[in-house]
Amino acid sequence: VVNRAASSRGPVRAPRGGERTAKSWGAEAAKRMLMNNLDPEVAEHPEDLVVYGGTGRAARSWEAYDAIVRTLDELEPDETLLVQSGKPVGVFRTHEWAPRVLIANANLVGDWATRPEFRRLEQLGLTMYGQMTAGSWIYIGTQGILQGTYETFAAVARSLGRDSLAGTLTLTAGAGGMGGAQPLAVTLNGGAVLIVDVDASRLERRVAHGYLDEYTDDLDAALARVVAARTAGEALSVGLVGNAAEVFPELLRRRHAGAAPIDIVTDQTSAHDPLAYLPIGVSVAAWKDAAASDPEDFTARARASMAAHVAAMVGFQDAGAAVFDYGNSIRREAELGGYDRAFAFPGFVPAYIRPLFAEGRGPFRWVALSGDPDDIAKTDRAVAELFPDDAALRRWLEKAGETVHFEGLPARICWLGYKERHLAGLRFNEMIASGELAGPIVIGRDHLDAGSVASPYRETEAMADGSDAIADWPLLNALLNTASGASWVSIHHGGGVGIGRSIHAGQVVVADGTALAAQKLERVLTNDPGTGVMRHVDAGYERAREVARERGLTVPMLRD
């Protein structure tokens, strides 16, 4: 279904500049961001409409893509387009404050929310996997995850009693759209890292984009390079072409023999979808056909390989390394593959991120529709000036400005909290109104955020009150963003950790320099992170209670 029209069209690239063809900036922005998601610089497999994260798609088919683009160009400023799993299904008269687009991706009724049923429906052309920001049109390339990954590794360093990762060696796998941020995140923290990927082209792409220093298919050579860097206290990232299910156990053997001093171990292969994880014994060239011809057998083999992969990770933990799951559900898949100690190591959210979520902090991102990198340089400076006391934020913005290679439209990410994000949004809007910036700015976020996701193997793992699987919270988040003036809002199922394992919501709001945009920005960018504080107050986190009290969030049943 997806491929039918792919061969007859050239690469997709969003229009640039301050002139629009749609009738509102809300619709124009949605159109440009959909296109930007499919820009070959941004998407992992644009010809299949796959943006990142295994099979995370931006539209259900090329016909659906064309219909969305056409509809957005014709959409009145008081109309709303509904998108059902990547297909445009209706246009309704609403009002100017309403979102221009409402999106629901991959949602299934509980008992039917299984991977085989999803695949069956997908093959019938009835649904689409939207991951988190693929089907909600706010993916910004690997940078999108870079800062969160940088923050996570900084927290790992702190947990080891260190100021940085200098003198440590990290082992990980998966150099895809998201996982590809890991090597740069480690080297920005001063460490050495070995990253394993079965697909040499992924490692090559990370080198080309400046996320990885070098790669090889020679394990001995790769190990020698990173061990030397660890000893010298130097930052270095080396990619290794290989299957993690084979390489991790081999490195564990070498560690036991004293030849692989690995301090930190994690993984970001696409384990959430066993068809996107390559089992031992299958070549990259045979992957697609093997997965398509017998998905059940492929799944069983992938799970068996994940069991070996995770058993090695647990072995590293037993040997004293810091080991954590990086949000891809590999522990559950390894358990399904027959390995019963898979949950011996924690997920990264309870281990490192939850204290940030309790303050409503999360991945605030913005994109310059002008296409002008100067707009990002100017907004970087504006954000640094807005938060002069936040040294880590300023350090990040400086490093990002120096090292991040833009993919598609110029964009930036930084983590900001409740009663912070709207200040940035309003400042950007002023800069557009005054002509300082060359065009509107799109402001959104990952669905991985403080109040927008229910995902018991990741964002809501081990909540203090046991509410891990309660999915009312992301639905309330989406409803509130819709009521607050967001430009597009989405509700997805299965992102990050796979079908049946998460429900999450996204919002994007456009700054176009108008007074109406300022009002919407103020509300959306206050209320959206506010739901994160609310959710963590409700779950009993003391820091969230303090933040609610100090920053004036009304929680009816919060008592002193």
CB atoms within 10 A of CB 163: 10
Sign of the alpha-carbon torsion through 23, 26, 29, 35: negative
- Establish whether 305 is an annotated binding residue: no
Strands 50-52 and 79-84: unpaired
Q: How far is the CB of 328 from ligand NAD (least distance, A)?
A: 3
CB atoms within 10 A of CB 130: 35
Strands 441-445 and 362-368: antiparallel
Nearer to ligand NAD, 20 or 365 (CB): 365
Nearer to ligand NAD, 302 or 533 (CB): 302
Q: Is 262 in the site for ligand NAD (CB under 6 A)?
A: no
DSSP 371-411: --HHHHHHHHHHHHHH-TT-HHHHHHHHHHHHHPPP-SS-E
The torsion region of residue 183 among left (phi > 0), alpha (psi -120 to 50) and beta comes to alpha
Strands (E), 229-307: 236-241, 264-265
Alpha-carbon distances of 127 from 85, 119, 453, rounded to whole Å: 5, 9, 21
- Establish whether 269 is an annotated binding residue: yes
Question: Does residue 137 contact residue 58 with C-beta atoms inside 8 Å?
Answer: yes
Nearer to ligand NAD, 28 or 333 (CB): 333
Alpha-carbon distances of 363 from 274, 353, 357, 374, 543, rounded to whole Å: 27, 11, 10, 22, 19
Nearer to ligand NAD, 191 or 495 (CB): 495
Q: Is 501 in the site for ligand NAD (CB under 6 A)?
A: no
Could you tell me how many residues of this chain bind ligand NAD (CB under 6 A)? Answer: 34
Nearer to ligand NAD, 396 or 428 (CB): 396
Q: Is 492 in the site for ligand NAD (CB under 6 A)?
A: no
Nearer to ligand NAD, 71 or 270 (CB): 270
Look up residue 323 and give its two tokens: 């080991």
Q: How far is the CB of 463 from ligand NAD (least distance, A)?
A: 17
Question: Does residue 447 contact residue 56 with C-beta atoms inside 8 Å?
Answer: no
Alpha-carbon distances of 220 from 136, 174, 260, rounded to whole Å: 42, 19, 10
**Pick from 30, 103, 106, 196: which binds ligand NAD (CB under 6 A)?**
196
- Establish whether 326 is an annotated binding residue: yes
CB atoms within 10 A of CB 155: 17
* Helical packing angle, 62-74 and 25-37, nearest 10°: 160
Nearer to ligand NAD, 198 or 553 (CB): 198
Q: How far is the CB of 272 from ligand NAD (least distance, A)?
A: 4
Nearer to ligand NAD, 310 or 511 (CB): 310
**Pick from 326, 345, 357, 418: which binds ligand NAD (CB under 6 A)?**
326
- Residues pairing with 416 in the sheet: 362
For ligand NAD, which stretch binds (CB under 6 A), given 86-94, 156-164, 167-175, 390-398?
A: 167-175
- Residues pairing with 469 in the sheet: none
- Establish whether 271 is an annotated binding residue: yes
Q: How far is the CB of 271 from ligand NAD (least distance, A)?
A: 5
**Pick from 244, 471, 534, 553: which binds ligand NAD (CB under 6 A)?**
244
Catalytic residue among 58, 132, 219, 414: 414
- Establish whether 277 is an annotated binding residue: yes
- Establish whether 278 is an annotated binding residue: yes
- Show the site string, 35-64: x = touches ligand NAD by CB under 6 A, - = not: ---------x-------xxx----------
d(CA 130, CA 40): 18
Q: Binders of ligand NAD among 439-478, rule CB under 6 A?
A: 448
For ligand NAD, which stretch binds (CB under 6 A), given 174-182, 218-226, 253-261, 395-403?
A: 174-182
Sign of the alpha-carbon torsion through 431, 432, 435, 436: positive
Q: Is 496 in the site for ligand NAD (CB under 6 A)?
A: yes
Clarify whether 414 is annotated catalytic: yes
- Establish whether 270 is an annotated binding residue: yes
Q: Is 315 in the site for ligand NAD (CB under 6 A)?
A: no
User: Which of 196, 198, 195 is closest to 184 using CA atoms?
Assistant: 195
d(CA 37, CA 45): 11
For ligand NAD, which stretch binds (CB under 6 A), given 27-35, 220-228, 326-334, 337-345?
A: 326-334
Question: Does residue 459 contact residue 539 with C-beta atoms inside 8 Å?
Answer: no
For ligand NAD, which stretch binds (CB under 6 A), given 196-204, 212-220, 434-442, 449-457?
A: 196-204
Question: Where is the binding site for NAD(+), in residues?
Answer: 53-54, 131, 177-179, 197, 202, 243-244, 268-272, 277-278, 326, 496
Question: Where is the binding site, in residues?
Answer: 53-54, 131, 177-179, 197, 202, 243-244, 268-272, 277-278, 326, 496
Using CB under 6 A, list all residues that contact ligand NAD: 44, 52-54, 145, 148, 173-179, 196-199, 202, 243-245, 268-272, 276-278, 326-328, 448, 496
